[in-house]
Amino acid sequence: MPRTQPVASPGCGAAIVEHGGRIAAHGLARSREVAACLADPAWMAALRGRRLATLATPRGRFLVLLMPLDGADLVVFSEPPGDAVLEFVAAVDFAWDIIEHVVTDPFDAMTVVDDQARVAYISPVHEAFFGLDRGGGIGRPVREVIENTRLDRVLATGRPEIGEIQRMRGAERVVSRIPITRDGRVVGAIGRVMFKGPQQVEALARHVNALQREVDFYRREAAALRGDAVGSLDDIVGESAAIRRLKRDIAKVAPLDVPVLIHGESGTGKELVARALHALSPRRAAALVAVNGAALPASLVESELFGYAPGAFTGADRKGRKGRFEQAAGGTILLDEIGEMPPETQAKLLRVVQEGTVERVGGEAPLPVDFRLVSATHCDLKRMVAEGRFRLDLFYRISPVVIEVPGLAERREDIPLLARHFLHELAQRHRRPEPELDPAAEALLRQADWPGNVRELRHAVERALIFAEGERLTPAAFPDVAAGPARPRPAAEPQGARLADSMAALEGTKIREAMQRNRGNKKRVAAELGISRTYLYKRLAEIDA
């Protein structure tokens, strides 16, 4: 009989119960209540039948597992991993058999990966399908073992993927990939594949899936053609801290009726931000009208923005035409590339923004207009104001709130996510199977410099998809993407400002050289360079700073 005494670690224990009656107990198994159970032949017989059971003791409820040995039984006691497991085992006499069924079911194979995306378990039927020996995949990176798997992605995103189609060994299967969390942390993932299952269900699932994607695609396409302001935070792909912050800012600002200036490098998604601002605002039912400041021909600015009255031009629409501000009535107007608008247009815009009215060309009375103003630019407008290239009064009017959109270089962790998002979307558009992005290609895209930001990445993915051969995109599919040291990035500034920068740098060098030549004699330096002494002092102060 076991000695019964207080145990140091009551959380678990084990005992070997010999069929002859001898018991060697450890940990929890040495406690009085447990020892009594182990010594009770009826209790042991019931446990042998179930293999997995629960035991209620004054210390709590425990899971009990029996493993038959030669002439003895090994009985293990353990704290349960969770109440649901306890309840399941307590309620179902054949819990063991169910677990066995789940892990070996030939119609619903299972793969389990750990938090490093290494294979922890594969159902025997799945192993056989991949030509693996029993246990042959264990411990290996799942990508090496299972074709087209995305279990590593599911680990990274923590998001389940249900009912997806996966191509394996030339056949398409319906799969689900589910992250498993413990205490809020993803500790692994399971993949399930309807292996042989009813073929109809599989085909149906595939069909529904393809239709769903197609509907999504055409819905977006139609919305874009209608110029609808559909958009939402979900359209902004990315999980980096910078993107999460951006989304938080958008959600905060959208419901307020204040003008917003969106600033960011070219191709960072400023238009998406504008659409989300509109979609989350009380004005969402009305239109979002976009005006591109860089594309407005000077001669048409007025009629385009403010419309024209009936009979204003010979040959013009007799009834007159609404301008963009009138079209945006009750909605939002997006003044895109506002930094590119010439001074005369800026003056006209200021009037509209200040007075809330527009005057149609050839019209008599100003018409009140009700719009929410959103502007976007890649220019440094403050600097343009300082240089006299942008009106200060207009700047104040358009920028009570400024939203900064981060460049791709500041959120490289989003690159794989964006690349896969575009692969998915573009594969639908070009009606091509969606290829996998192989890890080396993913690494290349992550490291590359993207002066054109998300737009450039999208183009690179599109080119790769169109020219791709096979089901996998390797680095060779991205011949124009340079790995390693960054290519020179064009600043988020128009050409004029870059020229100004280089002029300033050149001027600094000339001044420094002249100062050396003339041993610091400022009078001589000013004379040599043909500049005033006051200007020289100013530039020297800037250079020293």
Ligand X SMILES: Nc1ncnc2c1ncn2[C@@H]1O[C@H](COP(=O)(O)OP(=O)(O)OP(=O)(O)O)[C@@H](O)[C@H]1O
Closest approach of ligand X to the CB of residue 377, in Å: 8
236 counts as binding ligand X under rule CB under 6 A: yes
Identify which range of 233-241, 300-308, 318-326, 379-387 contacts ligand X by CB under 6 A. 233-241
Closest approach of ligand X to the CB of residue 270, in Å: 3
What is the DSSP track for 391-443?
A: -HHHHHHH-SEEEEPPPGGGGGGGHHHHHHHHHHHHHHHTT---PEEPHHHHH
Closest approach of ligand X to the CB of residue 246, in Å: 9
Nearest residue to ligand X on Cβ basis: 269
Of 64 and 379, nearer to ligand X (C-beta) is 379
237 counts as binding ligand X under rule CB under 6 A: yes
53 counts as binding ligand X under rule CB under 6 A: no
Residues 429-468 within binding reach of ligand X (CB under 6 A): 454-455, 458
Closest approach of ligand X to the CB of residue 272, in Å: 5
Binding ligand X (rule: CB under 6 A), the pick from 2, 191, 231, 238 is: 238
Site string for ligand X, 185-224 (x = CB under 6 A): ----------------------------------------
Residues 319-348 within binding reach of ligand X (CB under 6 A): none
Closest approach of ligand X to the CB of residue 251, in Å: 15
Closest approach of ligand X to the CB of residue 249, in Å: 14
Tell me how far apart the alpha carbons of residues 536 and 523 are, in angstroms, rounded to a whole number.
9
Amino acid at 146: I
Of 2 and 264, nearer to ligand X (C-beta) is 264
92 counts as binding ligand X under rule CB under 6 A: no
Residue 390 structure tokens: 């942008």
231 counts as binding ligand X under rule CB under 6 A: no
Tell me how far apart the alpha carbons of residues 462 and 480 are, in angstroms, rounded to a whole number.
12
H or E, element range at 497: helix 495-517
Residues 250-289 within binding reach of ligand X (CB under 6 A): 264, 266-272
Closest approach of ligand X to the CB of residue 186, in Å: 23
Residues in contact with 157: Cβ distance below 8 Å, sequence separation at least 6, in sequence order: 179, 239, 417
Of 53 and 341, nearer to ligand X (C-beta) is 341
Using the 8-state DSSP alphabet, how is residue 375 labeled?
Answer: E
Closest approach of ligand X to the CB of residue 238, in Å: 5
How many CB atoms neighbour CB 107 within 10 A? 11
Per rule CB under 6 A, count of chain residues that contact ligand X: 16
How many CB atoms neighbour CB 6 within 10 A? 8
What is the DSSP track for 459-474?
A: HHHHHHHHH--SSEE-
Closest approach of ligand X to the CB of residue 163, in Å: 24
Of 148 and 399, nearer to ligand X (C-beta) is 399
Contact 412, 368 (CB under 8 A): no
Of 176 and 266, nearer to ligand X (C-beta) is 266
Contact 323, 312 (CB under 8 A): no
Residues in contact with 75: Cβ distance below 8 Å, sequence separation at least 6, in sequence order: 14, 15, 16, 17, 29, 38, 47, 64, 65, 66, 67
Of 86 and 454, nearer to ligand X (C-beta) is 454
Residue 331 structure tokens: 């909605």
Residues 350-389 within binding reach of ligand X (CB under 6 A): 378
**Residue from 496, 293, 295, 296 nearest 383 by CA:** 496
The alpha carbon dihedral of 25, 28, 29, 32 has a sign of positive
The site for ligand X (CB under 6 A) is made up of 236-238, 264, 266-272, 378, 418, 454-455, 458
